Amino acid sequence: MQTAPYSHPLFCFSHRNFGRNVKTSSVKSHALCPSQLDRKCEFNRRPHICKLPIHLKQYRLLVVPNTDDGHPAASIIDDEMNTHDAPNDLPPKFLSNWSPPRYLWRGLSVLILAGQVIMNTLKGRIHWRNTLQQLERVGPKSVGVCLLTSAFVGMAFTIQFVREFTRLGLNRSVGGVLALAFSRELSPVVTAIVVCGRIGSAFAAELGTMQVSEQTDTLRVLGSDPVDYLVTPRVIATSIALPLLTLLCFTLGMASSAILADSVYGVSINIILDSARRALRPWDIISAMIKSQVFGAIISIVSCAWGVTTLGGAKGVGESTTSAVVISLVGIFVADFALSCCFFQGAGDQLKNCV
C-alpha cells in the first residue's frame, strides 16, 4: 500500500522509525540506515537522536506497510484536518446518518399542522379576509360541478335498484331507500370527492409553488405566520362550505332520482317523497353534516401539508399535487368507514315505516 508523503510546516521525515516526547515537545528520529538526512546532518551508521522543537499539537500516527522495501512507512495525521482516508477511532453514533422517509415526516407534518390550526382557531387568530376569499372559492364556485355530479350519480343509482323494487312490488320503499342512501353515504362522499379533485389539488399546487419560490419565507421575514395567513383560512373555509354543498347535493340528487323514477318506471313522485319523509330522521341529516365537516378538514389539512413540504421545483409541485389528492381520497374513505361504524351500528328499522 502506497502512502502519500506528509509535509510538516517545519520539517519533513524520511525515516522509518521515530518517537515523540510530549513533556519536552520534541520528536526523536532514529536513523536505521544512511540517507540524505544522515549525510546532511553528518550522522554515522549508528542510531542517533535528533531533537527538533515543534509546536505542542495533537497528531495521530498511521503506520502502513510499504511494499517497495518491506519497511513500515509512518505518516502523521493532523486531527484538525479533514482526512477521509484516515481511519476514525471513534465509532459512529447511533442513528447519526439516518434520516426519516419522506412519507413519515409528511405524515407528522399533517398532525402538527392540524394542531396548529386548532390552536389558532381557539385563540381567535384567524385572517378573516383570506377566510372569506377561500369560502367563496370553495362554496359558490364549486356548486355547479357538485350539483351536476350528484344529479347523475342519483339517476344512475335509481336505474340500478328501482326496477328490481318495482318487480317485487316495493314501490313505496323506493323513496326511503333513496333518502337513506343519499343522506348517509352518497351525498357526503360524492361531494367530498369532487371538492378534493377541484379544491384540494389547487391548495397543494398553490402552497407548493409558494414553498419552492420561497414566498413562505418572505412571509416569515415580514412577521406573518404562514399557518395563520395561508393554512387556517383554507381549513375553516372548507369545513364550513362542504356541509352546505352536501345539503344541496342531497336535495338535487333526490329530485333527479324522483323525476327519473316517475318518468321511466312509473313510480309517482308523491309516493317517493312520502316514503322519504317516513324513513328519514334528523340524525341522518346531522350525521351527513358531521361527515362533510370531517372530510373537508381532511382535504384541506392534507393538501396544505403536502404543499408546504414540497421540494424540487416544478416537478416537486406536480408530485405533491398528485400525492395530496390520492392521500386525501384514501383519508376520506377511511374516515367514512370509521364514522359509519360509529353512527350506524346495530339493526335498523327505519324502512319499516315505508312498507
Q: Is the pLDDT of residue 165 over 50?
A: yes
Residue given cell 415526516 in the structure block: 105
- In b/e form, how buried is each residue of 184-197, taking b as 16+ CB within 10 angstroms? bebbbbbbbbbbbb
Q: Which of 41-55, 75-89, 120-134 has the highest mean pLDDT?
A: 120-134
pLDDT at position 290 over 90: yes
Q: What is the pLDDT of residues 310-342, one digit of tens each?
A: 888 888 899 999 999 999 999 999 999 999 998
Q: What share of the chain is helix, strand, coil (3-state, %, to 5)?
A: 65, 10, 30
Q: At what angle do helices 201-212 and 282-308 cross, to 10 degrees?
A: 20
Q: How far is Cα 165 from Cα 267, in angstroms, rounded to an integer?
A: 10
State mean pLDDT over 229-241: 93
Contacts of 233 (CB under 8 A, 6+ apart): 126, 127, 130, 131, 133, 134
pLDDT reported for residue 346:
63
Strands 59-65 and 49-53: unpaired
DSSP state of 186: I
Residue 334, classed as helix, strand or coil, is helix
Question: Looking at residue 272, what is its pLDDT?
Answer: 87
End-to-end CA distance of the chain: 94
- Looking at residue 5, its pLDDT comes to 43
- Which pLDDT does position 355 carry in this prediction? 63
pLDDT computed for residue 94 by the predictor: 63
CA pair distance 87, 79, nearest whole angstrom: 11
Model confidence pTM above 0.75: no
Q: CA 188 to CA 137: how far, in whole Å?
A: 19
Whether 49 and 30 have beta carbons less than 8 Å apart is answered as: yes
